[in-house]
A and B are shown apart, each in its own frame.
Chain A
Amino acid sequence: MKVTLISIPVRDQEKALKFYTEKLGFIKKKDKPLEGGNRWLTIVSKEAQDGPELLLEPAPNHFEPSKVFQDALMEAGIPYTQFDVNNVDQEYERLTQLGVEFSIKPSTMGTTKYAVFNDTCGNNIELVEEL
């Protein structure tokens, strides 16, 4: 068994694609039309293009419990998932300049530096740097 795909719930796939590629720097890998205007839409990290794909899944629009769960996480400030970066401070500066909103500025906890931002598609996302 291998881990090749992780999914993330988004409210608007096109908006998510723009945010994740233009602001975060991911690259579109697969884009297949499905029914009802939905797409099988995956992106990969620029530095690891053969690594796991991130599926931008419109689940909250079609399955109420997914929407409820996503809203609850957002309200509690809990990140849906996390991405590794080499330098949290630099990414914070870069993303802030692009208009990305952070709910937690770069902070340190033990051997980890982290920050949390809003992906504008319904999720908090955490950036992590191991110290």
Chain B
Amino acid sequence: MTFYEKELNRINGIIYSNQEQVQTVIGVRNYIDNNYDTDLNLDLLSHLRFVSKFHLLRLFKKHYGLTPRQYLINKRIEKSKEQLSIGMSVTETCFAVGFESLGSFSTLFKSKTGKSPSEFQKSNFQEAY
């Protein structure tokens, strides 16, 4: 067994000894991936896995390095880029990926990608042709 494998096994035993916790956060992440376009909140996610809100928040952050909210926002932005790239309008995209206000969608999109949704769409078309 290589040094790398030994180290992985050692760390695995320390960090991931609680397999139930790992399954909980994986389940929550999958749920977000499949339902990012619906109205998701911490109450709903914690009820799904029968854990308290604050426990879930801590666990999720521990395993993925992001809070569920941050993960959801990243997912929605990633999906909105796909929709904008195939020519969906900014307003339609905003609601299709689960945002409820055009203002917050545009602001978040700009802060995450450096461009507003319409700028992103324009630059994408220019690159394609």
Chain A residues within CB distance 8 Å of chain B: 50, 75-79, 103-104, 109-111, 116, 124, 130-131
Do A104 and B5 touch (CB < 8 A)?
Answer: yes
Chain B residues within CB distance 8 Å of chain A: 2-5, 8, 11-12, 15-16, 22, 25-26, 29, 63-64, 127
Chain A's nearest CB lies how many Å from the CB of B29? 7
A111-B26, A111-B29 known; A78 vs B12 contact (CB < 8 Å): no
On chain A, the residues within 8 Å of B25 by CB distance are: 111
A109-B8, A110-B12 known; A77 vs B22 contact (CB < 8 Å): no
Q: How many A-B residue pairs have CB under 8 A?
A: 37
Chain A's nearest CB lies how many Å from the CB of B37? 20
Do B2 and A110 touch (CB < 8 A)?
Answer: no
Do B3 and A110 touch (CB < 8 A)?
Answer: no
Do A110 and B15 touch (CB < 8 A)?
Answer: yes
A79 and B7 alpha carbons, distance in the complex (Å): 13
Do A78 and B3 touch (CB < 8 A)?
Answer: yes
Do A79 and B4 touch (CB < 8 A)?
Answer: yes
On chain A, the residues within 8 Å of B22 by CB distance are: 110-111
A50-B127, A110-B22, A131-B26 known; A76 vs B16 contact (CB < 8 Å): no
Do A77 and B3 touch (CB < 8 A)?
Answer: yes
Do B5 and A77 touch (CB < 8 A)?
Answer: yes
On chain B, the residues within 8 Å of A110 by CB distance are: 12, 15-16, 22, 63
